[in-house]
Amino acid sequence: MSTASGSAARPLAVVILAAGQGTRMKSAHAKVLHELGGRPLVRHVLETVRVLAADRTVLVIGHQADAVRAACSGLDVAFALQAEQRGTGHATTIARDACLSDFSGDVLILYGDVPLLRAETLMRLIHGSSGRMRRKLVRNQSSSTVLARNGIASPAE
């Protein structure tokens, strides 16, 4: 795989955040388990990211973890359990520590409830704009999560 500029591509990991309860939906089901077209929302996202041929795909699960895991059966995905939902920064730290501690490369972080996300959009994000849109997950001295944008580190959003 290569970037739009022709240089060798870096390894890619995809982290999909799917641990939340979806309390605003006022439903007994986890938000990512709601169906669209007969499939759970999270399954749409996982099937879309397959086109990226990522080196690793990590699904952060929490609320109704067993049901989310079952909904994703048959797909090549690693699971990271966020037992206590404390936000997206915490979820990315869980993914890093559980499944990406030895990973060196670019990390694309997505939400598990965006079933209309298009593979073409993700490909442009990763390969287009000479990498200006890339985000990397890095570890700082206090071991908290930081997003690096064009080499400039800032606290996780």
Question: Which stretches within 3-149 are classed as H helix?
Answer: 41-49, 65-71, 88-99, 119-127
Write out the catalytic residue numbers: 24
Task: Give CA–CA dist 82/91, Å, rounded.
Answer: 6
Q: How many CB atoms lie within 10 A of CB 2?
A: 9
**Strand, helix or coil at 49?**
helix
Reading the block at residue 29, the tokens are 């089901």
What is the longest distance spanned by two Cα atoms in the chain?
48
